[in-house]
Chain A
Amino acid sequence: MNYIQPFLMLASILFCLGLYAVITRKNAVAILMGIELILNSANINFITFNRFGAYRTLDGHVFTIFVIVLAAAEAAVALAIIINLFKNIGTVDVDQAKEMKG
């Protein structure tokens, strides 16, 4: 396991999948899941560059833990919004949430 490319490839694939999900999905929950994927691809990048970087520090790990914590908080807030959205308009389809469209 001395090569960086497989890790970066994995991260890119995860990022693209997540991005794809965010752009194409109508379901708010699916978008949220896409965002989680993007965050995780970023986490993999942090870990990877930490492992293959010049200095053996724990910076990447620390950042990753912060991201996971923030992702958990974000998931909680987002889910709360989605529930409220569902309560108000009876669906979680983001295209339906357009009352504020100019």
Chain B
Amino acid sequence: MLETFQILSFLFLPLLSFVILIFFGKKLKSHSSTLGMFLIGLMLTNSIFLILKAEPYDFVLKTYNKWTLYKSFEWFSTGNFSISLGYFVDNITAIMLVVVSLIGFLVHLYSTEYMKDDPKYSRYFAFLGIFIFSMNGIVLADSLIMIYVFWELVGLSSFLLIGFWFEKEKPPLAANKAFLTNRVGDIGMFIGIMIIFFHVGSFNINEIINGVSDMNKTLLTLAGVLVFMGAVGKSAQFPLHIWLPNAMEGPTPVSALIHAATMVAAGVYLTFRIFPFLTPDALAIVAVIGAITAVMAAITAITRNDIKAVLAYSTISQLGYMVMAVGVGAPVYAFFHLVTHAMFKACLFLCSGSVIHAMHHSLHHLHDHETDPQDMNNMGGLKSKMPITHAAMLISTFAIAGVPFFSGFLSKDGILAAVLSYYYKHGDWTILLPIAGFGAAMITAFYMFRLIFKTFYGESKNKKIFKHIHESPLPMTIPLIILSVLSLAFAFTANLNPLVSKGWFKSLIYKYSKSHNFMDMKYINAGIDAAHYDAMYLSLFVASIGIGFSVLIYLLRKINPDNISKVLNIIGLFSLSKNKFYVDKIYNFVLYRPFLKQTQIASYIDWDFYDQKLIDAWGWITLKVSKYSGISDYSILDQKIIDGTSHLTQYVSGQLRKTQSGIIQNYLLGVLAVLVVIIILINQI
């Protein structure tokens, strides 16, 4: 009972925050953030208590306890069909709850300062509350249908928060785009869930894993890919990644919480959960999509000048990594990367928010409303002015670039090893996967350091703005410090030797690499372990190339970036990057334009043809018919027949009236005449 209460508090605390703030936010004013922080802080404490119960894997004895908490109750039933809601808590859930609560709490703290002067202050925190509620719902859910429900709820809260500044021009459009793009994936996901349901008869994930074995493999592949489509939408994978860069229109802390750390990772979490029943074919598709996303987004990020756009594409790229890791059979590393990425990417976003905040205030001070505070071309040399932000951002950049002793190294290395072993095993075209993985790793290192150098190093591009830049206040820097500490490798493994990365964290999640319905995971894990050293050396090599190029071009300025771009443009790479691989343009051309054309035609048929010709013709016919009907009714029926009757009556009565003379003697004469006639008649008989 207490346990159930503890688990359900993860749903009710943020929901309480939402309900109170949405109804009483106006009265609470600046206290609304305090309330939200208090509730989320309670949740954070709760999640830490929960994770302390989790059972680690013993690498020496190779045993673990199956620590799980679960409870489900019937939601509704019709006939012999019933849907149940319930929670399923294991190590993974506990870790996810800590991640969501921690980053949620830090973002609350950060936002107290970042959103200080916003008129919709309390509503902002209310939306954060409903987001955390829905995210916890996904994490706790024990069935696909419940995940789907909360899946839509995070979509809604994402929509609300992207379009938070709806009075501006772009945010509502970005919110719509995000919502609609996600819908495309969600429809696939729903179809997939239904296919599985009709063959297994249950939505419960564990029951599905046990029940799909005798299902048709082709159909299961299809169903798996369709469910994965939901993840493609939510985790911004190619080809549905187009919404995430636009989602940066929302407030920066929101980007850190939703569009970097938690919500976009929900897709990876889902793929992780359904991994045991994805067929090898479906996994190959998953891996390819992840690889394409990782490389494409990384290349696009190189040429972005908006600091948040770089981070957005970097997020897409890193999510691609995770998806690829699940695809090649290493969901553990995918989840590991999910958690480390959540920390360092949230840190990066919050740092960028800190920079934007400083730029914004400086511009505000100068009464300059034209300059873009997010454009890196207006920054430079901020290191001296914002030391804490700089340090935090540098640490998290090391982490994302995969430098040893930082968290990203541990997880990314595992993914790259898995990809490499996949190639060793399958050969053939699968060489493209490690190429994509290592290529993206190199490019990631390159553009992340480009961002650091352009923002914090070199000469400041705009002296006037530079003069008024200040370090952000404490509520904004504390989350940066905490998150950057968590981006260090020591946060995840106590072992100082980074080559042996079996820390407490991996021991918590290790058992999930053990089971798959159709593959021998022992064999795969052995392959990954074998490829580990190759992958590590290679990844160190590519990361140093990336960082080296970045240092040469942007820090030391030995090479002019224009020359590089000219060289790259020989194979069209530069313009591809500059134009985001033309994905938006292709969609515009292939989807939106034909769709608009189609609607135009439909509107033409409907209005010009159907409405004006057919409907109006009916009107015309009715008009004519009613005209003649009116004539016949009035002139013939009314005037001739009805009026004729009354005319006749009038005439007859006029004639008859003459007999009513009032002279009794006339009547008497009449009586006499009739009498005479009667008498004659009687005599006749």
Contact = CB atoms under 8 A, between A and B. Distances in A.
B662 A101 contact: yes
Contact of A23 (B660, B662, B669): B669
B668 interface: yes
A33 to B, nearest CB: 15
Interface string A1-40: 0000000000000000001001110000000000000000
B665 to A, nearest CB: 5
A22 B662 contact: no
A21 B484 CA distance: 143
Contacts of B672: 19, 23
B660 to A, nearest CB: 7
Interface SS of A by simple majority? helix
A17 B663 CA distance: 20
Contacts of B660: 102
Q: How large is the interface on B (under 10, 10 to 19, 20 to 34, 35 or more residues)?
A: under 10
Interface in B481-533: none
Interface residues of A, number: 10
Interface in A60-102: 94-95, 98, 100-102
Interface in B642-685: 660, 662-665, 668-669, 672
A95 B668 contact: no
B662 A102 contact: yes
Nearest to B669: A23
Contacts of B664: 94
A101 B663 CA distance: 9
Contact of B665 (A22, A98, A100, A101): A22
Contacts of B662: 98, 100-102
A24 B666 CA distance: 9
A24 B665 CA distance: 7
A41 to B, nearest CB: 15
Contacts of A22: 665, 668
A23 B672 CA distance: 10
Nearest to B664: A94
Contacts of A24: 665
A23 B663 contact: no
Nearest to B665: A23
B644 to A, nearest CB: 27
A85 to B, nearest CB: 13
Q: Which of B664, B665, B668, B672 counts the most chain A CB atoms within 10 A? A: B665
A78 to B, nearest CB: 13
Nearest to B660: A102
A101 B664 CA distance: 11
A95 B661 CA distance: 11
A23 B671 CA distance: 11
A23 B660 CA distance: 17
12 contacts: A19-B672, A22-B665, A22-B668, A23-B668, A23-B669, A23-B672, A95-B663, A98-B662, A100-B662, A101-B662, A102-B660, A102-B662
3 shortest interchain CB distances as A-B pairs: A101-B662, A23-B665, A23-B669
Given A23-B665, A23-B669, A101-B662, 13 more contacts: A19-B672, A22-B665, A22-B668, A23-B668, A23-B672, A24-B665, A94-B664, A94-B665, A95-B663, A98-B662, A100-B662, A102-B660, A102-B662
